[in-house]
Amino acid sequence: MSTTESPQTVTAPISPTSQATKETLEDYTLRFAPRSYRRWTPMVVATTALGGIAYMADFSIGAGIGLAHGTGNALVAIAVAAVVIFITGFPLAYYGARYNIDLDLITRGSGFGYYGSVLTSVIFASFTFIFFALEGSIMAQGLKLGLGLPLSLGYAISTLMVIPLVIYGMKALSKLQVWTTPVWLLLMVAPLVYLVSTDPGTVDRFLNYAGTDGDGGVNTASVLLGAGVCLSLIAQIGEQIDYLRFMPPKTEANKRTWWTAVVMAGPGWVVLGALKQAIGVFLAVYILAKVGPAASTEPIRQFRGAFDAMMPSWLVIPLAVALVVISQIKINVTNAYSGSLAWTNSFTRVTKRYPGRMVFVLVNLGFALALMEADMFSFLNDILGFYSNCAIAWIVTVATDIGINKYLLKLSPLQPEFRRGMLYAVNPVGAVAFVVASGLSIAMYFHALGDTLQPYSPVAAAVLAFLLTPLMAVVTSGKYYLRRTDDGIDEPLLDEEGNPSATTYDCHVCHQPYERPDLAACQTHAAHVCSLCLSTDKVGDHVLPAQPSAA
């Protein structure tokens, strides 16, 4: 992340059978991020994380909601979704930054179990390729307008160009995000400021726009339909945590900047996201009469219209294309990176084999390219409205487990756990809450419970997940969280300040040193085994047995 500090990776010899270990040490994919690697300041981490939300999809999402339901309904829907995303994202961001683990590792110990979170990993991976496809479509539209390239060729270019950037993991991504953010902000904000200051009438037209299926008033059904689309972005917190897990330890000296960075780059991402959605409504209304409703949801058209009002004609299209391309690169390297982690994590746990992260970079990109070629942009709101039900149920379940089951009911272990052998395969607390909440809300979305209830599907997903998660914890007495309470290592997981311990031990399988939270004792040897070697242990002779008291 920092361009001046060089994190130190371990350099002990790696056996020929431990290539999985070698690759994951690039930026500690699939495992706890150790203190020795986390050399960046809180604000450097935050800047890098916020660079990953430079996507243009917000403009399209806002425009689609605004054109359909009117400005009033769109703004209320955006605000409602933002509040839900902020509240649910806060505990997840805190856990990721405090304990230096990604969202899948958090999910395992927050109600789902070791294998139970495989399903949510697939949902997160789906989020990354859906939004990769959306951003790639937007870039292809820009290349068609600016260079005359066919959309199919633009889809391929937008997919292939991120591969060299995502190969090198977090260190390369951080430099890209820090360098491009100022240019992106300038190109995005300048035309909006110019339009508002030179033509105040644009604000009146924006505020008074009634939408194609509205009467100009605010109504509950329209707000909830719009909020459901916006809430498809709730899983973005997973990508934010992929950066936040590299936060330095929280201490008395840095606690103010530490908390500022966590809030700003964690749940705070939605503040900028909501602003971009509102800007999308504004720009769509501004260009509607010129380009028509279909084209006015395309960000390249929106910014072409905005730039056209303030710049010479010869500069308009190059700048609009530059903004779209920069935005697409900034977010899609994150989508490709985070998606590859999610797929690899699931595959490794299920098969106990690590195929290499780059395999799943290509898998994720393949899914995204297929969606682009299927013209997903034309039915964007339908895809996002359906997907949001699954994403809401997952995120609300995990956030509720942390906020209520851990801190209020104290039925869920306060310290996160993710290692094989320490967790049950499936925890009914999160699994049941998620399946019921997402299943019922999806049924409502597809009108299975009647047309009247259809707009309420995202509300049902959130409410059911919120209620069922503590209920299941009480019913099960919290006994399915931990298979073991003792990992066989005498030293505590946390130091005196509550941060993960920095003491290192050697893994006797891959012969690498790891910090305390990433290891457990071996069942058959007087030694330690790292979390990834436990995951890939096909025989299971390294995995500690269940404790009788936990059965």
The answer to whether residue 488 sits within a structural domain is no
Which is more confidently placed, 375 or 93? Answer: 93
- Per the CB < 8 A criterion, the answer to whether 419 and 487 are in contact is yes
**Tokens standing for residue 205:** 């037209």
Spatial distance between the Cα atoms of 161 and 227, rounded to a whole number of angstroms: 33
Where helices occur in 296-409 by DSSP H, the ranges are: 299-308, 313-351, 357-373, 380-400
pLDDT (tens digit per residue) in 202-220: 888 888 888 877 666 788 8
- Whether the per-residue pLDDT at 342 is higher than 90: the answer is no
Split into its structural domains, the chain has a count of 1
* pLDDT on residue 16: 34
Ramachandran sector of residue 41 (left: φ over 0; alpha: ψ -120 to 50; beta: rest): beta
355 or 119, greater pLDDT: 119
* Phi and psi based region of residue 28 (left: phi greater than 0; alpha: psi -120 to 50; beta: remaining): left
pLDDT bucket at 550, cuts 50 / 70 / 90: very low
- Specify the length of the chain in residues: 551
pLDDT at site 194: 86
User: What distances in angstroms separate CA 121 from CA 17, 62, 258, 260, 473, one per listed residue?
Assistant: 26, 27, 28, 28, 22
62: containing domain = 41-378
CB 497 within 8 A of CB 249: yes
Q: What is the mean pLDDT of residues 105-126?
A: 92
Give me the pLDDT at residue 168, please.
57
* CATH of residue 139: 1.10.4160.10
In a domain, 162, yes or no: yes
Mean pLDDT over each residue of the chain, to the nearest integer: 85
pLDDT digits (tens, 9 = 90+) for 495-513: 999 999 999 999 999 888 9
Say yes or no to pLDDT of 110 above 60.
Answer: yes
Look at residue 12 in the predicted model and tell me its pLDDT: 37
314-320 CB contacts, 8 Å cutoff, 24+ apart: 317/145, 317/146, 318/146, 319/187, 320/142, 320/145, 320/146
Residue range 271-320, pLDDT digits in tens: 989 999 999 999 999 888 787 787 888 888 888 888 888 888 888 888 88
In the DSSP assignment, the letter for residue 456 is: G
State if pTM tops 0.75. yes
Q: Is residue 79 part of a domain?
A: yes
Query: Quick one: pLDDT at residue 551?
Result: 41
In a domain, 23, yes or no: no
For 448-497, write each residue's pLDDT tens digit: 988 888 888 999 999 999 999 999 999 999 999 999 999 999 999 999 99
Contact partners, residue 260, CB within 8 Å, separation at least 6: 42, 43, 46
Q: What percent of the chain is predicted at pLDDT more than 70?
A: 89
Residue 232 lies in a domain: yes
- pLDDT grade for 179, boundaries at 50, 70 and 90: low
